[in-house]
Amino acid sequence: MLEIRPNCECCDKDLQAHSTEAMICSYECTFCKSCVDNILENVCPNCGGGFVARPIRPENDYREGVSLKYQKASTKRVHTPYSEKELRDFSRPLKHIKPEAR
């Protein structure tokens, strides 16, 4: 099940479970749209993959037992160990390759 992390791993911006600014890679690395576009250039600094919008987990259980009420979002904040320069240096050679071709 998707972890739904509470923050951008780069700038530490809060990304609530209903945020439309949250972007994830296939490993659930979580960044805000601004960092994905302006620093990472759609290259995950952990795996080299691309990003997609993180799905929204409904607050209401339209099916019994299936909602944020029962499957809570994570409260564990995650931060990248890399500096902004290291992130940009990693992304630079990969940003021109489509994610599906990386």
Q: What CATH number is associated with residue 62?
A: 3.30.40
Residue 36 within any structural domain of the chain: yes
Q: What is the DSSP letter of 33?
A: H
Average pLDDT, the chain: 97
Determine the Cα–Cα distance for residues 58 and 56; give it in Å rounded to an integer. Answer: 6
Tokens 């390759």 belong to which residue?
A: 97
Residue range 37-53: mean pLDDT, rounded: 98
Q: What is the reported pLDDT for 32?
A: 98
The model's pTM: 0.93
Q: Range of 62's domain? A: 1-72
Residue 101 within any structural domain of the chain: no
Residue 83 within any structural domain of the chain: no
Confidence of residue 85 (pLDDT cuts 50, 70, 90): very high
Residue range 26-44: mean pLDDT, rounded: 98
Residue 92 within any structural domain of the chain: no
Total domains present in the chain: 1
